Amino acid sequence: MNPTPDTLHGLNLDLFNKDLLLTWEHTDDEIKGILLVAELLKKLHRDGVSIRSFDTGLAISIFRDNSTRTRFSFASAVNALGLGLSELDEVKSQIAHGETVRETANMISFLAEVIGIRDDMYIGAGNTYMRDVGAAVQEGFEKGVLHRRPSVINLQCDIDHPTQTLADLAHLKAAFGSLDALRGKKIAMTWAYSPSYGKPLSVPQGIIGLMTRMGMDVALASPAGYDLIPDVVERAKKQAAAAGGIFTVSTSMDEAFAGADIVYPKSWAPFHVMEKRTALLKQGDRPGLTELEKQCLAENAKHKDWECTEARMKTTNGGKALYMHCLPADISGVSCAQGEVAASVFERYRIQTYKEAGFKPFVIAALVFLTRMQHPVAKLEQIMTRSTERA
Amino acid sequence: MNPTPDTLHGLNLDLFNKDLLLTWEHTDDEIKGILLVAELLKKLHRDGVSIRSFDTGLAISIFRDNSTRTRFSFASAVNALGLGLSELDEVKSQIAHGETVRETANMISFLAEVIGIRDDMYIGAGNTYMRDVGAAVQEGFEKGVLHRRPSVINLQCDIDHPTQTLADLAHLKAAFGSLDALRGKKIAMTWAYSPSYGKPLSVPQGIIGLMTRMGMDVALASPAGYDLIPDVVERAKKQAAAAGGIFTVSTSMDEAFAGADIVYPKSWAPFHVMEKRTALLKQGDRPGLTELEKQCLAENAKHKDWECTEARMKTTNGGKALYMHCLPADISGVSCAQGEVAASVFERYRIQTYKEAGFKPFVIAALVFLTRMQHPVAKLEQIMTRSTERA
Amino acid sequence: MNPTPDTLHGLNLDLFNKDLLLTWEHTDDEIKGILLVAELLKKLHRDGVSIRSFDTGLAISIFRDNSTRTRFSFASAVNALGLGLSELDEVKSQIAHGETVRETANMISFLAEVIGIRDDMYIGAGNTYMRDVGAAVQEGFEKGVLHRRPSVINLQCDIDHPTQTLADLAHLKAAFGSLDALRGKKIAMTWAYSPSYGKPLSVPQGIIGLMTRMGMDVALASPAGYDLIPDVVERAKKQAAAAGGIFTVSTSMDEAFAGADIVYPKSWAPFHVMEKRTALLKQGDRPGLTELEKQCLAENAKHKDWECTEARMKTTNGGKALYMHCLPADISGVSCAQGEVAASVFERYRIQTYKEAGFKPFVIAALVFLTRMQHPVAKLEQIMTRSTERA
């Protein structure tokens, strides 16, 4: 059942010139539409058909934290659509001179179509920064500074990681056959032990914020104290209720895994630790940060049993739950002495996690496409009709 | 009155395969032509028409100092014309191995169309370096090393900042209706206080070196001792005389502002300080640099009254002079405690300074276009006739 | 005698979807084909004809050591073919987190056509790393993770520097008229003194590994102890015998230069020193590295007479041997007090060394073209028939 532009006809999509900052700010139709376009672009790429949609134009990325896969996914996606990529390296820029976000956002955007931002280190700051950029280019567009209003795409913030979770959803759709087939399926989004600390909350928050809308049985589990941002948890509860699904929060990895169809074991730092860390980072308090890290690692070390082991996998539905991870995973005996997942479990699902990641460039391409094209369905039809070979 | 390729027909343009290093090395026809092409490319971009002029080809940038807006302007311009961008990062290269400029310039240029260079830190060195690169690729072309002779474009040097001042001139032309309308208008190019030191001389020098050719009344003002390069000041005098304009040099911000139609208050370091700084930088004399900075900041601090205040703005023509800045400005109470401009003045003109900056990518595109296209008018006509949608 | 696609017809080329890691893993037909395609692409570029072969697509480069000319050659080549370039900066990536090569290689390759890698610092590691990347993308392709299997191109490793030596061979072919004309010509690949140490072995190894196949008289010379990797020397011997050429190893620069048609004097570090250095680097043993450097520089300093002087040049065939260098050369009195080559010798051949380097972008383009195009001859014919102007 290959996707076609036809499948988009029934959907009410209002993404043109919009930002994509949190999945829950977009309708179910839009989520469905993003996946359909991503699938279609992926199929065209597989078939060697060019999906170039721009003759020229600039995509800008701002990475305020290290990244490999999101960086390359973004680079791949914008290239495939025909855009050039310029990365704003804040170290090489004059931004330290006291320039405002409002000003910089306009200065880089004169010929820009899209701005992808990763900013996940500061609780309360990353998503806000993206909104500031969006507001700035909106003002610039309205006041005639910019010919076009570039879209801002969240490449991971303190709250959500939409390009990851939409890729995850596309992977689940492919694995289970359809979005409808996910209804009632149990997904265990659990904390897992990692020898590092300070991992962002964006993935678990993004997963419960997206999967609860699919009518799934979403089981969030972590050791006591490893809380997510309360608002997001609250939203997940409401969404699950509205979608006829289930959302549970527990402190038992075993409970979450029991009978699960999908498991997503992944480390994160407690919300209140990230808040403290943000405060210390802002104050530049190095000894404070070192002390916090020490405390956290000690706390983490109490929960080394939170590992995705073969024994736990056996307790899932038929012992065959789909293991997911945003990568890189902390694999026991491979990337660390003890980590999030047993080596044999990871190895069994390794290729599937690669495929999971393989949706991301096409999800990003879909987001760029849908936020930039006024008539996306017509454009897709044009791309398929012309059917230009890419090479 | 939209620009068309027709408006270029009467102009004698000899820019093909040339460099753009100082505005005063180019004729009035060429300055007019650059602005017309920039305006035309800007209009086409606004209308969504592709200005792609190359199927493939490389643009190279060399930034020896930090930059945001010039970096992105260059990246945007070359992308819009269809060129790929490669930045020469001298840290990652082997240049430290003792390789000559002559050699490097050829090594990077085998498939290059244009080389944009920013080198503004060393008095007597930046523009010279650009000429060395130009001479090297000229030799390489003549000796058959290079198939084409790439153009060198000055993205700011120790003497001039042509892409900035041409963008400034395009902004003035738009604000006043035509270049002719600038005749007799008074522009105050004045020093202003900044809590930092060592700001380049290129903007004030470039402004007096360009605006005096427009028959304007150019009033240069700074505290005593904040001299510019004497040759440039001398040239401005001669040009003003030749163009039937006025060029005055004073030590009074008030005199310069009085009755001005345009004000451009901006900090810079005195020429003799930049010379000393250059010598110390070359010697790697850290304590000497620290001492020089201390002295200069102390000297600067005596001139905190050199601020573009509301009171001073009231003394301009009708109290409504156009405020200009190359950005980022040191805004009192915003980016620093006390700086070049009062917050209320800046805020009133903020959007206009963004628009001023918005000309820069199109000025750069025009420079690339005119230095690379043997028949620029015909090419522009072709671009307009084909009228390819960019997206 | 201009190259045409016709000249490729008789050749058996099996490069599609393959890697290019060592020249001696490829047949004589393939070596000839690479040169022919490089020459053809160079001619097309000279004539202003676009050689774009991709509508979109990503080329990835991984530079684990500094580079100017190879970096720009790769950037130029992939741009000319229509690919976008993304550089994997391992510092900015998450690779330090303990991620495996296998994983990273797939994560960056979802839309990649080609991966160029420079990794020449660690004996026994660089070429191995490239093979690991190749195996990883092969697995990814076979398991359905990747739609296409990107080619890995060696941009210099611990063993070979194929893009350099193929460019060198193209330069020799141009200088002597044909590959056949090289038969019996004497090339002196000699060590030369440099005030720096730790220079890679890849060029001398690559030269003896390639030129011995051309039936040349290859004279390798170095001070005693400056050995290359024994396997490569062994291979050169066998290849020379098979091709009806000569391969000699001596400790006399004079012997090597005597009657030579071509000289390639270049510094390198002894194999056993590079092995020690690799071990110390892996252990992070800074004092050990400093001590090793000190010893090596002292040893090097005993061989300052290994310089390509005018006197030695006079002993070559007619006193007119072609001087070659991969650049940058250590030029006595120019880039160092005493180095590999006398200033007057270098200056006489300077432009020719630039032309030698000028083949590299087209050799890389040929490698990308031949490893990516299933029907390269037909594609070349198409490119020549359409004859699109590049600008």
The whole-number average pLDDT for the span B168-197 is: 97
Nearest residue, CB atoms, C68 vs list B94, B113, B144: B94
Q: What is the pLDDT of residue A154?
A: 98
- For tokens 């599937």, name the residue: A352
Task: Check if A267 contacts B (Cβ < 8 Å).
Answer: no
Nearest residue, CB atoms, A328 vs list C97, C110, C145: C97
Residue A190 pairs with which residues in a beta bridge?
A221, A265
Structure tokens belonging to residue A262: 């999908």
CA torsion, ordered A134, A140, A146, A149, to nearest 10 deg:
30
> Helix, strand or coil for residue C217?
strand
Backbone dihedral angles phi then psi of residue B86, each to the nearest 5 degrees: -125, 130
Smallest CA-to-CA distance from A80 within A23, A18, A38, A31 is with: A38
Closest-CA distance of chain B to residue A147, Å: 5
Instruction: Give the Cα separation of B132 and B355 in Å (integer).
Output: 34
Instruction: Give the Cα separation of B315 and B258 in Å (integer).
Output: 5
Task: Check if A113 contacts C (Cβ < 8 Å).
Answer: no
Is B94's CB within 8 Å of C67's CB? yes
- Which one-letter amino acid corresponds to residue C9? H
Is B99's CB within 8 Å of C46's CB? no
Q: Which chain B residues are within 8 Å of A56, Cβ to Cβ? A: 50-52, 79-82, 390
Q: Which chain C residues are within 8 Å of B144, Cβ to Cβ? A: 351, 355
Instruction: Give the Cα separation of C380 and C370 in Å (integer).
Output: 10
Q: With beta carbons less than 8 A apart as the criterion, state whether B123 and B160 touch.
A: no
Is B54's CB within 8 Å of C391's CB? yes
Is B56's CB within 8 Å of C361's CB? no
DSSP character string of A220-283: EE-STT----HHHHHHHHHHHHHHT-EEEEES-HHHHHTT-SEEEE-----HHHHHHHHHHHHH
Is C94's pLDDT higher than 60?
A: no
Measured N-to-C along each axis, helices B202-211 and B162-176 cross at an angle, to the nearest 10 degrees, of 50
Detail the DSSP E strand segments found in chain A: 58-63, 84-87, 112-119, 151-157, 186-190, 217-221, 246-250, 262-265, 322-323
Identify from A43, A55, A67, A79 which residue to disrupt to test chain C contact, counting C C-beta atoms within 10 A and taking the largest count.
A79
Q: What is the pLDDT of residue B278?
A: 87
Closest-CA distance of chain B to residue A136, Å: 11
Q: With beta carbons less than 8 A apart as the criterion, state whether A191 and A330 touch.
A: no
Instruction: Provide the ipTM.
Output: 0.95
Nearest residue, CB atoms, A68 vs list C55, C95, C146: C95
Structure tokens belonging to residue C152: 């890995």
Closest-CA distance of chain A to residue B366, Å: 15
Closest-CA distance of chain A to residue C103, Å: 8
Q: Which chain A residues are within 8 Å of B388, Cβ to Cβ? A: 55
Is B94's CB within 8 Å of C52's CB? no
The 3-class secondary structure across chain B, one letter per residue, is: CCCCHHHHCCCCCCCCCCCECCHHHCCHHHHHHHHHHHHHHHHHHHCCECCCCCCCCEEEEEECCCCCHHHHHHHHHHHHCCCEEEECCCCCCCHHHCCCHHHHHHHCCCCEEEEEEEECCCCCCHHHHHHHHHHHHHHHHHCCCCCCCCEEEEEEECCCCHHHHHHHHHHHHHHHCCCHHHCCCEEEEECCCCCCCCCCCHHHHHHHHHHHHHCCEEEEECCCCCCCCHHHHHHHHHHHHHHCCEEEEECCHHHHHCCCCEEEECCCCCHHHHHHHHHHHHHCCHHHHHHHHHHHHHHHHCCCCCCECHHHHHCCHHHCCEECCCCCCCEECCCECCCCECHHHHHHHHHHHHHHHHCHHHHHHHHHHHHHCCCHHHHHHHHHHHCCECC
Smallest CA-to-CA distance from B15 within B354, B296, B366 is with: B366
- Mean pLDDT (chain C) is 94
Instruction: Give the Cα separation of B237 and B212 in Å (integer).
Output: 8
- State the burial class of residue B386 (Cβ atoms within 10 Å of its Cβ: 0-12, 13-18, 19+): exposed
Task: Check if C112 contacts A (Cβ < 8 Å).
Answer: yes
CA torsion, ordered A321, A324, A329, A332, to nearest 10 deg:
0
Is B86's CB within 8 Å of C75's CB? yes
H or E stretch including C286? helix C286-301
Detail the DSSP E strand segments found in chain C: 58-63, 84-87, 112-119, 151-157, 186-190, 217-221, 246-250, 262-265, 322-323
The whole-number average pLDDT for the span C238-244 is: 98
Q: Which chain B residues are within 8 Å of A93, Cβ to Cβ? A: 66-68, 71
Instruction: Give the Cα separation of A378 and A370 in Å (integer).
Output: 12
Residues of B (303-342) whose Cβ lies below 8 Å from A: 327-328, 330, 334-336
Instruction: Give the Cα separation of A214 and A245 in Å (integer).
Output: 8
Structure tokens belonging to residue C122: 């660690």
- For tokens 């704003």, name the residue: A88
Q: With beta carbons less than 8 A apart as the criterion, state whether B372 and B13 touch.
A: no
Q: Which chain C residues are within 8 Å of B51, Cβ to Cβ? A: none
Under CATH, to which class is A164-357 assigned?
A: alpha beta
* pLDDT level of residue C99 (50, 70, 90 thresholds): low
The whole-number average pLDDT for the span B362-384 is: 97
Interacting residues of B247 by C-beta distance below 8 A, sequence separation 6+ = B208, B212, B218, B220, B236, B237, B239, B240, B241
Q: What's the N-to-C CA distance of chain B in angstroms?
A: 26
The whole-number average pLDDT for the span B255-281 is: 94
Under CATH, to which class is C163-357 assigned?
A: alpha beta
Identify from A39, A66, A171 which residue to disrupt to test chain C contact, counting C C-beta atoms within 10 A and taking the largest count.
A66
Q: With beta carbons less than 8 A apart as the criterion, state whether A206 and A23 touch.
A: yes
CA A310 to chain CA centroid, Å, is: 27
Q: What is the pLDDT of residue A111?
A: 97
Return per-residue pLDDT of chain A as tens, 391 residues.
467 788 898 899 999 999 999 999 999 999 999 999 999 999 999 999 999 999 999 999 999 888 888 999 999 999 999 999 999 987 655 454 456 889 999 999 999 999 999 999 888 889 999 999 999 999 999 999 999 999 999 999 999 999 999 999 999 999 999 999 999 999 999 999 999 888 999 999 999 999 999 999 999 999 999 999 999 999 999 999 999 999 999 999 999 999 999 999 999 999 999 899 889 988 889 999 999 999 999 999 999 999 999 999 999 999 999 999 999 999 999 989 999 999 999 999 999 999 999 999 999 999 999 999 999 999 999 999 999 999 8
The whole-number average pLDDT for the span C375-381 is: 95
Backbone dihedral angles phi then psi of residue B100, each to the nearest 5 degrees: -85, 155
Is A51's CB within 8 Å of C53's CB? no
Backbone torsion region of residue B357, taken as left when φ is above 0, otherwise alpha when ψ lies between -120 and 50, otherwise beta: alpha
| Domain edges within chain A | 5-160+360-386, 164-357
- Which one-letter amino acid corresponds to residue A90? E
Report whether the peptide linkage leading into residue A328 is cis, meaning its omega lies within 30 degrees of zero.
yes
Neighbors of chain A by Cβ distance (3+ pairs < 8 Å): B, C
Smallest CA-to-CA distance from C122 within C289, C358, C239 is with: C289
* pLDDT level of residue B96 (50, 70, 90 thresholds): very low
Instruction: Give the Cα separation of A162 and A14 in Å (integer).
Output: 17
Instruction: Confirm whether B5-160+360-386 and B164-357 share one CATH topology.
Output: yes
Is B98's CB within 8 Å of C335's CB? yes
Give B19-43 pLDDT, tens digit per residue: 999 999 999 999 999 999 999 999 9
Under CATH, to which class is C5-160+359-386 assigned?
A: alpha beta
The whole-number average pLDDT for the span B126-149 is: 97
Identify from C17, C54, C56 which residue to disrupt to test chain A contact, counting A C-beta atoms within 10 A and taking the largest count.
C56
Is C67's CB within 8 Å of B98's CB? no
Q: Which chain B residues are within 8 Å of C357, Cβ to Cβ? A: 106-107, 110
- Which one-letter amino acid corresponds to residue B152? V
Report whether the peptide linkage leading into residue B3 is cis, meaning its omega lies within 30 degrees of zero.
no
- Which one-letter amino acid corresponds to residue C92? K
- Which one-letter amino acid corresponds to residue C178? S
Closest-CA distance of chain A to residue B42, Å: 9
Task: Check if B389 contacts C (Cβ < 8 Å).
Answer: no
Q: What is the pLDDT of residue C262?
A: 98
Closest-CA distance of chain C to residue B139, Å: 9
Q: What is the pLDDT of residue B81?
A: 98
> Helix, strand or coil for residue C109?
coil
Is B72's CB within 8 Å of A95's CB? no
Q: Which chain B residues are within 8 Å of C50, Cβ to Cβ? A: 55-56
Q: With beta carbons less than 8 A apart as the criterion, state whether B345 and B308 touch.
A: yes
- Give the β-pairing of C112-119 and C84-87: unpaired
The whole-number average pLDDT for the span C286-306 is: 94
Instruction: Give the Cα separation of B155 and B69 in Å (integer).
Output: 11
Q: With beta carbons less than 8 A apart as the criterion, state whether C152 and C117 touch.
A: yes
Tell me the whole-structure pTM to 2 decimals: 0.96
Task: Check if C106 contacts A (Cβ < 8 Å).
Answer: yes
Give chain C's largest Cα–Cα span: 62
Report whether the peptide linkage leading into residue B361 is cis, meaning its omega lies within 30 degrees of zero.
no
The whole-number average pLDDT for the span B319-327 is: 98
Task: Check if C4 contacts B (Cβ < 8 Å).
Answer: no
Q: Which chain B residues are within 8 Å of A88, Cβ to Cβ? A: 68, 72
Give the Å distances, CA to CA, from C117 to A385, C65, C326. 38, 10, 18
CATH topology of domain B5-160+360-386: Rossmann fold (3.40.50)
Q: What percent of chain C has pLDDT over 70?
A: 97
A58: nearest CA partner in chain B: B76
Task: Check if A380 contacts B (Cβ < 8 Å).
Answer: no
